Amino acid sequence: MTSKTDFDATNHFGDKHASVYDEKIRKVIRGYSEMHDLTYYLLKDNLTENAKILVVGIGTGHEAVTYAENQEGWHIIGVDPTPEMVKSSTNKIIQLGLADKIDVVEGKVDKLKENNFDAATSILVMQFLKDNGDKEAYLQDISAKLKKGAKFVLIDLEGEKDSEKFNLLLSAWKSHQYNTRDDKEQIDKDFEHVDADLQFIPGERIVDLLQITGFTNVCKFYQSYLFGGYIAEKA
């Protein structure tokens, strides 16, 4: 199944999705919490106590809050083009008393005035961009904001559609969903969205794009069905 029109992630993550995202994402991605734990400890082990971190696609703020609550000296700047997500994350940050440690900016990375970040993360964002130059431009924009030697964590859906490996992991993921969630109709809609709107590329292509856009020492650290996580370094 293919999309009849270009998918708009900003509209997709509007009011309805922003309000239920935190609860639903944990059901859809088994290992979601562990994914963030692994990312946090990779950053913690490689950054100073006063690091400045760019979170691309701050969403509802879970990731940024995790860093701020665990690292007193870290300062986090999160960007997101979706007004509802910016509102959701800002409210959460204020309620938790973390507004002095996390800034939220509505927009995309290339419009951000700040630079010289010690690290950046992009979790479940690039998968919405086509590999027609958009993915490369996105990574280049992030790379341009980082110091030399800065760490970058990228987690995305990946795979070569219709390959044996892809179908194996997709089938298991679907089976897991049908056996752990009650709403079969909604699960079917979710996978129609995955098929029509997510821009899959193989892991090898992700590594290639990272290298093209100024990253080196690329290391895969996470896999959960079709979700893959990488850490790299700004060359």
Q: How far is CA 19 from CA 7, 86, 88, in A?
A: 20, 12, 8
Total-model pTM: 0.91
Which DSSP letter does residue 85 get? H
Least confident piece of the model among 20-29, 47-56, 92-101: 20-29
SS3 12: helix
Per-residue b or e along 177-194, where b marks 16 or more CB atoms closer than 10 Å to that residue's CB: beeeeeeeeebeebbeeb
| pLDDT tens digits for range 104-163 | 999 999 989 999 999 999 999 999 999 999 999 999 999 999 999 999 999 999 999 999
| pLDDT tens digits for range 33-75 | 899 999 999 999 999 999 999 999 999 999 999 999 999 999 9
Residue 227 amino acid letter: F
The C-alpha atoms of residue 109 and residue 149 are separated, in whole angstroms, by 19
The C-alpha atoms of residue 212 and residue 21 are separated, in whole angstroms, by 33
**Mean pLDDT, the chain, as a whole number?**
91
Q: How far is CA 232 from CA 54, 100, 171, 177, 215, in A?
A: 14, 28, 30, 31, 6
DSSP secondary structure string, 207-228? Answer: HHHHHHTTEEEEEEEEEETTEE
Q: Are strands 215-224 and 227-234 parallel, antiparallel or unpaired?
A: antiparallel
Non-local CB neighbours of 85 within 8 Å, separated by 6+ positions: 13, 18, 21, 58, 59, 60
